[in-house]
Amino acid sequence: MEILNKFIFWSTLLLFSIVSLVPFFAMSHIKIMGLPIHYLIVGGSVSILAILTLYNHRGKLTLFDKWLLVLMLGFSLSMIVSVDKVNTMKSIVSFFLRGIGVAFIVNKFVISDRRNNQVVMGLLSVASVVCLIGLVEFFTGRIPFFHKFYLGIRGYPIGFNIRSGMMSTIGHPLSLSAYLVLLVPMAVWFLQKDQREKSFFKLIPLLLILMTILLSFSRSSWIITCCILFVCFFDKRTRHTILTQWKLILISVTVVIMLIYFLPRLRNAFIDRFNFQRVKVEILDSHRSASYKTTWNILKEYPLFGVGMGNFTEIYEYYKAKGSNWSISSPDNMYLRFICETGIAGTLTFFCFIFYWLYQLWKKRNDDFIWAIFVGLIGFLVNQMAGDFFYWLAPQFLFWFMLGLGVASLNEVKGKNG
């Protein structure tokens, strides 16, 4: 069984690399047997790995597995009054194959200090490549290897549109930054893991992640990242590490300030994002603020089970409130979308699930690795108020990967404590 364990472990890390580095969002038009290619590659791989995992553990279900089933049941209730039952079924299956199934697999990892290092090295290495691709795109207007492939995508290159930032392989600046927010605490953990190794190379993932988040021009990700760094600085476990790297951090901050000062494009973008009038309008009179009214319009008619998972775009034109952006058929808020699509029943199920497992992680926060996962998950969940990131493949996959990893780590900590 050890060989099968290793196969599942490395295959899951490889799948994460494929999900992160292959721009599946731009390949939805490529279909095999009528199915988008990412359904076959990602969905097929998760299905096989889930079956192998179930076989390897002799079909035994843990408490976490049972909670995952309850969550799927809560979402499945939206089938009852769904306005498009076929689309809802596809969305529920997709949500399992791209997310919940990933948590099921990773939860079964046999975790140890060596495995933790391997996982973190894999996650941060892939994320660093994603960041490098995004930074090259930002400064050159071209995505390495994929430039011609992206030319047909609406809004690419980002630099020639009203919004600043980059797509990288994730598909949008907001989704890219949300994906990276999950890994900020992990990059700090990696930096302080072995304080005897004071290598500049250990700082590279954190610097790349922070630079990419900064240049994504996602204000929600800026705020959340600052909060995470604030927590890390005042946590006695990581404060010493940050202070020992103060010279490199100071040099990095100076370089960023110089770039902003000498590059008009950067300077103008920052001025635009911090413009008081624009921020005020976007909070009080924008598509996002109008989405609350749109949600209320839908909730009045579909309160308990919603319009069916995946069906927000189907009914958006009919229920959208005044001030909504006609070209954005999304509330730009995952929780509003959950309420609309799965109703009170599905949304409460999700929050019960999340709060329960976050509380389990919180109870073991003295473990540095679990604490890093917990902080990253919290940051991502807060960021969901600015986007529906569970409908983007890479952020969704990484969130459920991290949650499954956190629960697996809980099992390891319990084992150590006897």
What is the per-residue pLDDT across 269-286, written as a single tens digit (0 to 9) for each?
A: 777 777 776 666 666 657
Rounded-to-integer distance, Cα 406 and Cα 371, Å: 9
Predicted confidence band at 100 (pLDDT cuts at 50, 70, 90)?
very high
Neighbours of 248 (CB within 10 A): 15
What is the per-residue pLDDT across 186-212, written as a single tens digit (0 to 9) for each?
A: 998 888 776 555 566 888 899 899 999
What's the confidence (pLDDT) of residue 291? 86
What mean pLDDT comes out for the span 90-115?
90
Residue 415 identity: G
What is the per-residue pLDDT across 305-351, written as a single tens digit (0 to 9) for each?
A: 999 999 998 888 888 777 666 667 788 899 999 999 999 999 999 99
Three-class DSSP category at 221: helix
9 pLDDT above the threshold of 70: yes
What's the confidence (pLDDT) of residue 413? 64
For residue 158, give Cα distances in angstroms to 18, 167, 345, 356.
Answer: 23, 7, 38, 39
What mean pLDDT comes out for the span 88-97?
92
- Return the percentage of the chain with pLDDT > 70, whole number: 87
What's the confidence (pLDDT) of residue 415? 53
For 269-298, letters b (16+ CB in 10 Å) and e give: beeeeeeeeeeeeeeeebbbebbeebbebb
What mean pLDDT comes out for the span 19-43?
84
163 pLDDT above the threshold of 60: yes
Alpha helices in 22-112 (DSSP H): 37-38, 44-56, 63-76, 85-95, 101-106
Nearest CA to 105 out of 411, 362, 407 is that of 407
119 pLDDT above the threshold of 60: yes
For residue 355, give Cα distances in angstroms to 30, 56, 228.
Answer: 38, 29, 19
Determine which of 47-61, 89-103, 280-294, 307-321 has the lowest per-residue pLDDT on average: 280-294
- Residues with Cβ within 8 Å of 326's Cβ and at least 6 positions away in sequence, in order, are 320
Predicted confidence band at 10 (pLDDT cuts at 50, 70, 90)?
very high
Return mean pLDDT, the chain.
86
- Return the percentage of the chain with pLDDT > 90, whole number: 52
- Residue 136 token pair: 């090259």
**Between 46 and 153, where is the model more confident?**
46
What mean pLDDT comes out for the span 23-48?
84
151 pLDDT above the threshold of 60: yes
Using an 8 Å Cβ cutoff, are 185 and 353 in contact?
A: no
- Bridge partners, residue 31, by sequence: 36
Predicted confidence band at 157 (pLDDT cuts at 50, 70, 90)?
confident
303 pLDDT above the threshold of 80: yes
Three-class DSSP category at 101: helix
Instruction: Quickly tell me which residue has 């760094």 as its tokens.
Output: 229
Alpha helices in 302-333 (DSSP H): 312-319
What mean pLDDT comes out for the span 8-28?
92
- Residue 347 token pair: 């949304």
Rounded-to-integer distance, Cα 164 and Cα 23, Å: 20
What's the confidence (pLDDT) of residue 269? 74
- Residues with Cβ within 8 Å of 221's Cβ and at least 6 positions away in sequence, in order, are 174, 177, 178, 180, 181, 213, 383
Highest mean pLDDT among 8-17, 275-284, 404-413: 8-17
What's the confidence (pLDDT) of residue 1? 67
Highest mean pLDDT among 71-85, 194-208, 309-323, 401-415: 71-85
Rounded-to-integer distance, Cα 216 and Cα 134, Å: 9
